[in-house]
Amino acid sequence: MGHIKQKRHRVLSLLSIVTSLGLPARTFALPAWYTAGTGGFIANTNDPTTAAAAPTVPDFYQHQNWSPASFVNGLGQTQYTTFSSNGWESSTIAANGPYQGWCAYTAYDDVIYDLQSQGYVFKNLADPTAAANWYTATYGAAGKPLVSNIAKVATIFGAGFPNTTSMQTYLNANVNNAKQTDANGDTLGKLTSQTFLVNNATGLLQYWSYSKGAMANAQKSSDTAFDFTNNMLKRGEDVMYLLTYGTNTVVNDPTTTNFWWLNHAVAVSGISVANKSVYIADPDTNGGPAAANAGWIRNSPNFPGALATAANAALPVPALNSFDNNDATKFNSNYDRFTFANKTYGQAIAPTVTSADAPQFNNTFLSSVLVTGPSIVNKITVAPRAGPTLANRAIRPAVPGGSEETDLTLQIPEDCSAIDGVLVEPSTQVVNPSSDPTAFSLVDDTHTASTWTDAEDTSDPFGNSMTLGSVEYDLAGGTDLLPGDTVDVDLETTSDFSSLGYDVLIHYQGDPSDEWTPEMIAGSEYDPSDYPAGDEVPTPEPGQLGVLALGGIAMMRRRRARQQRNVPRDIVGHWPS
């Protein structure tokens, strides 16, 4: 589909040829909340009893239970200690003891609320979607702020900081280990968590390419951060941003409205396609996006307790059917609007924020995008490649000494768009399909008459070279992969890659040939999952921007180097801290 490959088509039966000449009509499914060409606010649309759904990414407040000790300094100014007297936002949560701002914990709880509204059950978290339960579940009962979903998320990640607990580890242990169903009774896909880093040189988002053994662009060169976000939201993913202070943002001065920190996390709550703007739920503000509603202005009488939400308040989301590209009064009690434009900082390029609703974000920049949603991969099975048999003499191991045959089982999520292309990037060398044809196939267990071609690719759809190769499967005739389908993908490599990690790239029917969606499957070589922490530590001076730069601002790990190749050292970065 527009990139270098060594193509090998299977011989099609007469039925397949006829089918390919007249492919059945296909639908390009979008989430029900998303209007093509317009966008909308993220909402749960799985409930069959609800004709329309209110937004389901709330604007929870990270300072809700803040109760710090205060003192008057020599200048007569009121200052606050860097801990909370009742345990919220305190060193009792963070294992290493520093004061934490909890922006990422709260933004994750915004995202988790949306996932819970879809039907996912997080076994150690309360259900905030139950009637009149959102406040207690999110913030805790009176006098018990640590018995709350936000505090539990903080405890989970605080105990593992910085190297032992990732979001994927948490999801596997608390969500993916049980069958999940929506209100229709449909099975929900296992959740995956991924971090896409900004490329310092181009301003594009990147994924970890296991075949390349390095970060690789996850967009075509003309794309923007808005395009990446739009693509993920169209696929039903939940998205968070990690933002870093900009060059002209005042720092280290709590008496200004531009007081900022090293990093700040926010949840994406919607998108306007017409205006190329993104809506976000900011954990630091409550009751509106402006600086006057922000907890970070420490000399403000509102910091931060006066902004706390009342126990009988409604869920902090805009009203039902309130989406309007141009009328901010319909959403700005909860959401802010961002636009992005790539700007140059020395030798680096970053997607930079402009926000008329929340000017305190102006000239901050995007360092990474955090994506959580249903995985397309259900399981992986590996076995040594068998030799020829009397029943099948065509089988022939292509590698002296043997090779490994891998079967990937894909489960196409419900409400997913139709898929007409799958590309697998393993972390070990791909065997050329032409040398052992029977080892490679894609079979849709539902639409068994569909035919697919397979080919070894030397570059991915974005133009990144694949050191270890990859295999692309394209629909040649019949029906796309559709929601609920189970798919078997077979390929051959020189050795087992299942525990090291791999990528699966998906092409959705109707998308341009160079627009694919990567999914990184974590392994011992690299963990693409994100890691949340707090945000309330003042930033260094702006002159240090070149040192901190834009890259690597995420907690990613590679646990084991690949044999016969030089794998870079761990990416060193910072979550809000």
Give the span between the Cα atoms of 241 and 227, in whole angstroms: 14
User: Same domain for 309 and 427?
Assistant: no
User: Same domain for 361 and 440?
Assistant: no
User: Same domain for 205 and 274?
Assistant: yes
User: Same domain for 54 and 10?
Assistant: no
Phi and psi angles of residue 462, each rounded to the nearest 5 degrees, phi first: -95, 5
**Domain-embedded: residue 520:** no
With tokens 């909340």, the residue in question is 33
Instruction: Say whether 293 sits in a helix, a strand or coil.
Output: helix
Domain count of the chain? 2
**Domain-embedded: residue 555:** no
Q: Which helix (H) or strand (E) holds 169?
A: helix 167-174
User: Same domain for 459 and 404?
Assistant: yes
Give the span between the Cα atoms of 390 and 431, in whole angstroms: 24
User: Same domain for 134 and 243?
Assistant: yes
The answer to whether the CB of 454 falls within 8 A of the CB of 8 is yes
**Domain-embedded: residue 18:** yes
Compute CA distances 395 → 385, 390, 437, 472, 491, whole Å.
9, 10, 8, 21, 13
DSSP secondary structure string for all residues of 98-120: -----HHHHHHHHHHHHHHHHT-
Burial class (CB in 10 A: 0-12, 13-18, 19+), 409: middle
The residue range of the domain holding 276 is 39-180+191-374
Last residue of a domain, one of 452, 475, 508: 508
**Domain-embedded: residue 517:** no
- pLDDT at position 205 is 95
Q: Which DSSP symbol is given to 51? A: S
Give the span between the Cα atoms of 119 and 182, in whole angstroms: 5
**Domain-embedded: residue 257:** yes
Q: What is the pLDDT of residues 252-295, one digit of tens each?
A: 455 555 556 678 899 999 999 989 999 999 998 888 887 778 77
Give the span between the Cα atoms of 86 and 143, in whole angstroms: 8
pTM over 0.75: yes
Q: What is the rounded end-to-end Cα distance, in angstroms, of the chain?
A: 42
The answer to whether the CB of 415 falls within 8 A of the CB of 483 is yes
For residue 556 the two structure tokens come to 């990613």
User: Same domain for 163 and 21?
Assistant: no
Number of Cβ atoms within 10 Å of the Cβ of 255: 11
Q: Which helix (H) or strand (E) holds 21?
A: helix 14-21
- For residue 526, what are the β-bridge partners? 523
User: Same domain for 45 and 137?
Assistant: yes
- pLDDT at position 354 is 93
- pLDDT at position 44 is 82
What CATH number corresponds to the domain at position 9? 2.60.40
- pLDDT at position 91 is 43
Last residue of a domain, one of 508, 541, 558: 508
- pLDDT at position 3 is 53
**Domain-embedded: residue 130:** yes
User: Same domain for 200 and 240?
Assistant: yes
Instruction: Say whether 153 sits in a helix, a strand or coil.
Output: helix
User: Same domain for 272 and 383?
Assistant: no
User: Same domain for 318 and 384?
Assistant: no
- pLDDT at position 263 is 82
Give the span between the Cα atoms of 16 and 48, in whole angstroms: 37
Give the span between the Cα atoms of 245 and 260, in whole angstroms: 7
Last residue of a domain, one of 508, 531, 564: 508
For the chain (length 577 residues), average pLDDT per consecutive 10?
Answer: 41 30 48 88 70 83 72 61 53 42 87 94 91 88 79 70 65 92 87 92 94 94 94 93 77 55 88 93 87 66 72 89 74 89 88 89 91 91 68 52 84 86 96 90 95 95 94 96 93 93 94 92 84 36 33 31 29 28
**Domain-embedded: residue 142:** yes
User: Same domain for 196 and 316?
Assistant: yes
**Domain-embedded: residue 342:** yes
Number of Cβ atoms within 10 Å of the Cβ of 164: 11
